[in-house]
């Protein structure tokens, strides 16, 4: 199957099935995840949770994963230079290139890091995984529904984000383990 045809067919289907309610909800979700006010609110809530809960390692791992995934995705966009869906298929006009999806990369890195570093209550880990995967799916559908991304942009973004998340988790474990060993030796 031709990926370009696959992408076009899916975005065309979404464009033909848009409703005012779904479009409003998708725009709201997109603005929350990509707009400056939404990002600022999320950043403040994140810092507050880390400080109040004293989740330094988790906060560091999650924060670095998301920021690094964003940076890598933006750099890869310049290399790939894939145009976004055309105006006749898009409900929103977003600048820059489309592949990989920065939002998909950031949310995948967030999901991987959250799943790995949060101390989930016993028996809750499968529910947390299901909730994180559902969130990724809803955000992906919103971006494709609005015509801001092709489906393969989202898939590429998920791959970038998951890889960055796994790498940061490994590095974080190594760094914090080394810091704990040094602290124990100095006592």
With contact defined as beta carbons under 8 Å apart, do 153 and 80 qualify? no
Q: How far apart are CA 13 and CA 68, in angstroms?
A: 33
| pLDDT value for 117 | 82
Q: How far apart are CA 137 and CA 148, in angstroms?
A: 15
Q: pLDDT tens-digit profile of 134-166?
A: 888 888 888 899 988 999 999 999 999 999 999
Q: pLDDT tens-digit profile of 56-107?
A: 677 778 888 888 998 999 999 999 989 889 888 888 888 888 899 988 998 8
With contact defined as beta carbons under 8 Å apart, do 104 and 139 qualify? yes
Confidence of residue 177 (pLDDT cuts 50, 70, 90): low
| pLDDT value for 24 | 87
For the chain, the structural domain boundaries read 3-180
Fold of 3-180: Vanadium-containing Chloroperoxidase; domain 1 (1.20.144)
């Amino acid at each position: 199957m031709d990926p370009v045809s696959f992408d076009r067919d899916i975005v065309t289907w979404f464009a033909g099935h848009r409703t005012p309610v779904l479009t409003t909800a998708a725009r709201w979700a997109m603005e929350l995840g990509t707009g400056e006010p939404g990002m600022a609110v999320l950043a403040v809530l994140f810092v507050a949770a880390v400080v109040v809960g004293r989740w330094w390692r988790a906060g560091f791992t999650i924060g670095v994963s998301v920021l690094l995934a964003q940076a890598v995705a933006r750099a890869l966009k310049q290399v790939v230079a894939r145009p976004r869906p055309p105006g006749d298929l898009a409900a929103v006009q977003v600048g820059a290139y489309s592949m990989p999806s920065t939002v998909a990369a950031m949310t995948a890195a967030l999901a991987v890091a959250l799943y790995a570093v949060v101390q989930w209550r016993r028996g809750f880990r499968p529910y947390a995984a299901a909730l994180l995967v559902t969130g990724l799916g809803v955000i992906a559908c919103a971006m494709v529904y609005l015509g801001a991304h092709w489906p393969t942009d989202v898939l590429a973004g998920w791959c970038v984000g998951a890889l960055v998340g796994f790498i940061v988790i490994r590095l974080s474990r190594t760094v914090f383990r080394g810091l704990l060993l040094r602290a124990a030796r100095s006592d």
